[in-house]
Structure 1
Amino acid sequence: MDKLDCMRAFAAVAAQSSFTSGALQLGISTKLASKYVARLEEQLGAQLLNRTTRKVTLTDTGRAYLERCLPLLDQFDELEDVVQLRQQELGGPVRITAPTGFGSRELVEALQPFQQMHPKVAVELLLSDRHLPILEEGVDLAVRFGALKDSTLVARKLCAMRLVVVASPAYLAAQGTPAEPEALATRNCLLQMTSLQPDAWTFGRKDRQRTINVGGTFRANSPRAVAHMAASGLGIARCPHYTALPFLQDSRLQVLFEKQETDPITLYAVYPSSRHLTARIRALIDHLAEYFGPR
């Protein structure tokens, strides 16, 4: 067995606290991952992991070894980069996490041309509406909206996206078009639960902002679901422009209070500051910035 494979298996199992999840991250069987780690422990003459039926944890020796193991794995990746850059051919796995709604359509559409250009790059896309812990989940790159709060991470801006208030012409014909945002306090507003304050809608920019408290009969943790419901005529929604765009294009939705929109939300590519960026990950980030920037 190659010692590098053993080290990679150990690092993945340690990150996931599970042989099954660690093996899944590497694309190998649980049995093989267990064999790799056992062989590494045998070579070192030390127990690196405590194994129970419920969880796998690091021993003190395992924790110390992991701290020195991860930089070495990064250096091996960097050596591969040198070869790949000379050959002008990228290859290897990239593990990405993104919000479900944005990731299932917009991000997938952005990834398609990248994988066509680099067919040897294997992308694993993890969609979740909660922020997955990057280091613990063995994630190479996260695509996220909003300000960066974790100082151990690095963020590169991909683009800024409008937050728009929308309603269907049928709803407005039946209920009347609100003249000012304050009128939303008495309207049926459709709430996106993944936002920080789903029932407090902000209007205006920076120091001239005002907040309107809203409520309604529909809530969802998907901005695309909120846009769909607004297009059906149930009420008024506030959502990222990309989710409303198909309905705006066929006139099933129209934008309200366009001149009073709040600051746009920013889309970032996020990665650990401690991790070496391989050539394929750097190339992917550059591609995403180029793809989404003009949008």
Structure 2
Amino acid sequence: MDRISALTAFVAVADEGGFKNAADKLNLSNQLVSKYVSQLEEHLKVRLFNRTTRRVRLTEEGQQCYQFAQQILESLTDMESQLGEMQSEAQGQLRISAPVTFATRHLAPLIGDFKKAHPAVGMELQLNDRKVDVVEEGFDVALRIGKLKSSSLIARRLAPIRLVVCASPDYLQREGVPETPEDLRLEHYLRYSYLEPSPAESRLMLALKRSSAIAAASLASNNGEILMQAAIAGQGYVLQPTFIVGDAIKAGKLTAILREFEPEPLGLYAVYPHRKLLATKLKVFIEFISSYFGDPPYWDDFDE
């Protein structure tokens, strides 16, 4: 017995409510559809349908069989589609959302390399630091930095995001090098306005939470590049991810301090809708970006 054909005929009869309609749907003869169902009943040793002259109805055993048969046939379709996609070229338009500063500093080379590998994929990159609605706004994938909350979306971790406190050598020579978070000059804090320290965070994060609550920051901004430039100019200290300040530390323009109090790293994630079958263009992009930045990522390659 051809079990796949038998299951296909059985599900079609159940869906269409009769053998003739199922035969028309499958482009088979009525006799062959009836034969497939009879063979399946003999194989399972149960009656799947109660037949009348006007229509057929599933028995209790038939209802259970129907659920299993649907899953089997759907899995078979998924397998055929995925294997077929593996043989096809990635193509189409890929819509990506990404944080502003991370994208301007690190995505241009990635996009160039990806386009060389997959020239048939067009890319639309939108930069925004707000949390976009991936599904409602029609994005294929969003890059996000932080600690993600549970959702119906799939999140693929791409790289750790370290946060370091740093200041210019001139500032540290003038004001002294703090040894503990409590030694920080709170009025010199160059604060990133989107950062929301949690009470469950590290001692350093708690000190920064206190500074934002009881002292006016020297400068507050929602852009890390501006804060980094202010720190380089000796205006104070910043807590920023190394993908922003790593090059400045490597060049000696900034010095990382309070390293033993460094908070737990955040993560860079690719977030995309939960789908049984990912489009080839998205699948190859996720695989490409997953290994692109390195482990540890290249922006952490600095000498202090």
Structure 2, unaligned runs of 5 or more: 1-76, 298-304
- Deviation track 1:1-38 (CA, whole Å, cap 9, x = no partner) reads xxxxxxxxxxxxxxxxxxxxxxxxxxxxxxxxxxxxxx
Partner SS, residue 115 of structure 1: helix
Partner of 2:101: 101
Q: Distance between the aligned counterparts of 2:103 and 2:186, measured in 1?
A: 34
When residues 274 and 90 of structure 1 are mapped into structure 2, their CA distance, relative to the original with a 3 A threshold, is closer
Q: Distance in 1 between matches of 2:140 and 2:200?
A: 34
C-alpha distance 197-260 of structure 1, shift in aligned 2 (>3 A):
closer
Contact kept? 2:178, 2:258, Cα under 8 Å: no
Please say if residues 163 and 261 of structure 1, whose CA atoms lie closer than 8 Å, have aligned partners that are also in contact. Answer: yes
Partner Cα separation in structure 1 for residue 134 and residue 278 of structure 2: 14
Q: Percent identity?
A: 31
Question: What are the residue-to-residue correspondences of 1:181-260 with 2, within 5 Å?
Answer: 181-197=181-197, 203=202, 210-212=206-208, 213-214=210-211, 215-260=216-261
Mapped to 1, the partners of 2:124 and 2:154 lie a distance apart of 21
Aligned partner of residue 121 in structure 2, secondary structure: strand
Q: Name the CA distance, whole Å, in 2 between partners of 1:156 and 1:286.
A: 10
Q: Quickly say closer, same or farther: Cα 1:143–1:110, change in 2 above 3 A.
A: same
Q: Measure how far apart 1:149 and its partner are.
A: 2.4
Is contact 1:168–1:231 with CA below 8 Å preserved after alignment? yes
**Residue in 1 aligned with 2:290?**
289
* Equivalent position of 2:300 in the other structure: none
Change (3 A) 1:252 1:202: farther
Distance 1:267 1:114 in 2: 18
Contact 2:142–2:270 (CA under 8 A) maintained in structure 1 = yes
More strand by share: 1
Shift of 1:202: 5.1
In 1, the alpha carbon distance for the partners of 2:267 and 2:132 equals 18
Aligned to 1:270: 271
The normalised TM-score by structure 1 is: 0.66
> Secondary structure at 1:142's aligned position in 2?
strand
Question: Is the contact between residue 181 and residue 203 of structure 2 (CA under 8 Å) also seen in structure 1?
Answer: no
Structure 1 residue 226, shift from structure 2 partner:
1.4
Give the letter for the 2:227 counterpart: V
Structure 1 residues 34-183: aligned runs within 5 Å: 85-87=86-88, 89-149=89-149, 151-183=151-183
Deviations 1:18-70 (A, max 9, x none): xxxxxxxxxxxxxxxxxxxxxxxxxxxxxxxxxxxxxxxxxxxxxxxxxxxxx
SS state of the match for residue 130, structure 2? coil
Query: 1:292 Cα deviation (Å)?
Result: 2.2
SS in 2 for 1:159: strand
Change (3 A) 1:225 1:276: farther
Q: Which has the larger radius of gyration?
A: 2
Partner SS state of residue 217, structure 2: strand
TM-score of the pair, normalised by structure 2: 0.64
Q: Judging changes above 3 Å, is the alpha-carbon distance between structure 1 residues 133 and 187 closer, same or farther for their aligned structure 2 residues?
A: same
| Separation in 2, partners of 1:85, 1:171 | 56
Residue 138 of structure 1 aligns with an amino acid whose one-letter code is: G
Question: In the alignment, residue 236 of structure 1 is paired with which amino acid?
Answer: Y
Contact 1:187–1:236 (Cα < 8 Å) also in 2: no
* Distance of 2:83 and 2:122 partners within structure 1: 19
Note the C-alpha offset of 1:201: 11
Using the alignment, how far apart are the partners of 2:292 and 2:221 within structure 1? 28
**Residue 274 of structure 1: how far off its partner (Å):** 4.2
Q: Which amino acid aligns with 1:193?
A: S
1:131-155 Cα deviation digits (max 9, x unpaired):
1111111000000011222512110
Aligned-pair CA distance for 1:185: 5.0
Q: Report the count of equivalent residues.
A: 214
Equivalent residues of 2:163, 2:242 under 8 A apart: yes
Tell me the amino acid that sits aligned with residue 194 of structure 2: T
2:130 partner letter: R
Cα separation, 2, equivalents of 1:225 and 1:83? 48
